Every structure is written in structure tokens, then in C-alpha cells.
Amino acid sequence: MSLLELRGESAGYNGKSILRDVSLKIEPGERIAFVGESGAGKSTLLRLLYGRLGNTAALMPQDSALVQSLSVFHNVYMGRLHQCSVWRNLRNLLFPAATDIEEVRKVLTPLRLEEKLFSNVGQLSGGQYQRTALARALYHPGRVIVADEPVSSVDEHQASEILSTMNCEKETVLLAMHDRALALEFANRIIGIRDGGIVMDTPSAGMTPEDLDELYLAGGMITA
Ligand code: ADP
């Protein structure tokens, strides 16, 4: 059974249509990179997909949306807020439970963030910040991750590390990416977006970054 299917869907803001007539089927286990120039509609499409998946998916939004004044522990713990009682969440804000600390620590250790457990997120480097956002998404129990430009502020080595961790830890990965080489390396399906529509939908195997150049040129449907 498909994980998700869109049939001729539209989406936009304030009555203005951005995505038009988008049809798309996603199977469990796929690793899809949505690529296209800035403003093409990738984030809008990811929002639509995340809206359909709801709490079965973990989200890494473009700005990471971490709470600067809270610790790494608290930000990562938010990945499971929806699963716990209000009382437990409030108590953990002030007096984190040992079991929850251990659970969060298990996610932080392979991401080399263990020492930052109780550091404020506002004090982290760009790479640590983006890895904390990943830790929060990994802490979320969903088997799907929806990530909007998850490696935009890290170097190539950390980008590879983040993307391969995502691929190992989550069953289905939906990414918006502007780095074409990384998109081809870490996704097995490439969906090209232009002017709010899907203009390319192809396996990544055998493609080169140059094959995606067409996405950034004016024109019609691309046959890859
Ligand atoms: P991409 O992720 O490919 O850069 P977006 O989906 O962010 O593209 O944006 C597609 C279009 O929707 C752009 O014209 C952008 O200005 C517009 N847009 C994005 N977010 C909003 C919003 N919250 N309100 C109004 N317009 C928006």
C-alpha cells in the first residue's frame, strides 16, 4: 500500500495558488529529493505532504525551528511531546526525568552532541544546531522524515553525515535540496519542481548533477 498519494492537488497562500495539479504517489522506503530553483514550490509541497502524514512523520523545517532559550535536551524531547501527557511534559521542562535524559542521550551520542545535552541551543555552532534539529526528528517515533533543506548550513562532510544518518534511521525520507550532487547521492528518486508543478520524476541512478540543470532553465516538461 502506498504511503501517500496526491491526485491533482493544489496549494497556496492567501488565496494565491502556488502548487497546481500535483499528482504524486510515494511508497514506503523511498528516499525522494525534491529539487528546483528557489521559489519553485518545494517547501510548499513538503508542507502539503507533511500535513497529510501528520504525526506519522518527523519534520525538519527549513529554519529548524529550535527554541533558542531552551537546552538541547528540551528541544530534542519536543520530538515526542505529542506522545506524552501534559503533566509529564511540564515536569520535564523543570525537572527532566532520568529515563527521558537517557533516551535523549542515546540519540545525541552518535551525533556527537552528548556534551551539549544541557547547553542552550542559542550557544551552538551552525553544525551543532542542524544536528540538534536532526536529533529532534530522530527522537520522533515516526518512520518518515520530511526535511526542508536539512543541510543548508553545514559543510560537505557534515552534510553527508546528516543525510546518511537520516537514511539509516528513517524508513522513508522526503527532502527538499538545492545541492544537486547530494540529492543524487542520498535519494533514489528525484522529483523536479518548477513553477509549482512536477516537471521531472525519475530514479536518481545513473543521473549526473548536470542532468538537473534543465530544471533551472525555462521550458516545459522534462523527460529524463
Ligand atoms: P521553494 O521551497 O522551492 O523555494 P516555496 O514553496 O518556499 O519554494 O515558495 C513558493 C512560492 O510561494 C514563492 O513564490 C514564495 O514566495 C511563496 N510563499 C512561500 N511561503 C509563503 C507564505 N507563507 N506566504 C505567502 N507566500 C509564500
Per residue in 166-192, pLDDT (tens digit) is 999 999 999 999 899 999 999 999 999
Q: Tell me: pLDDT of 221 over 60.
A: no
pLDDT tens-digit map of 92-132: 777 777 888 999 999 999 899 999 999 999 999 888 998 99
The model's confidence at residue 222, banded by pLDDT at 50, 70 and 90, is low
pLDDT at 119: 94
| Closest CA to ligand 1's atom 27 | 13
Q: Which atom of ligand 1 is nearest to the CA of 62?
A: 2
47 CA: nearest ligand 1 atom: 6
The secondary structure of residue 64, as a DSSP letter, is T
Distance of CA 94 to the CA centre of its chain: 29
Q: Does any ligand 1 atom lie closer than 6 A to the CB of residue 11?
A: no
**Nearest CA residue ID for atom 6, ligand 1:** 41
Residue 58 phi, psi (nearest 5): -90, 145
Question: What is the pLDDT confidence band of residue 25, given thresholds at 50, 70 and 90?
Answer: very high
pTM beyond 0.85:
yes
In Å, what is the CA distance from 198 to each residue of 24, 75, 138?
9, 34, 29
Which atom of ligand 1 has the smallest separation from the CA of 40?
A: 3
Q: Is 42 in the pocket of ligand 1 (CB under 6 A)?
A: yes
In sequence order, the 6+-apart residues with CB closer than 8 A to the CB of 106 are none
The predicted structure's pLDDT at residue 186: 96
Q: How much of the chain, in percent, has pLDDT values that exceed 70?
A: 93
Residue scoring higher pLDDT (36 or 1): 36
Domain ranges for the chain: 4-215
Q: Is the pLDDT of residue 12 over 90?
A: yes
Closest protein CA for atom 18 of ligand 1? 13
Architecture of the domain delimited by 4-215: 3-Layer(aba) Sandwich (3.40)
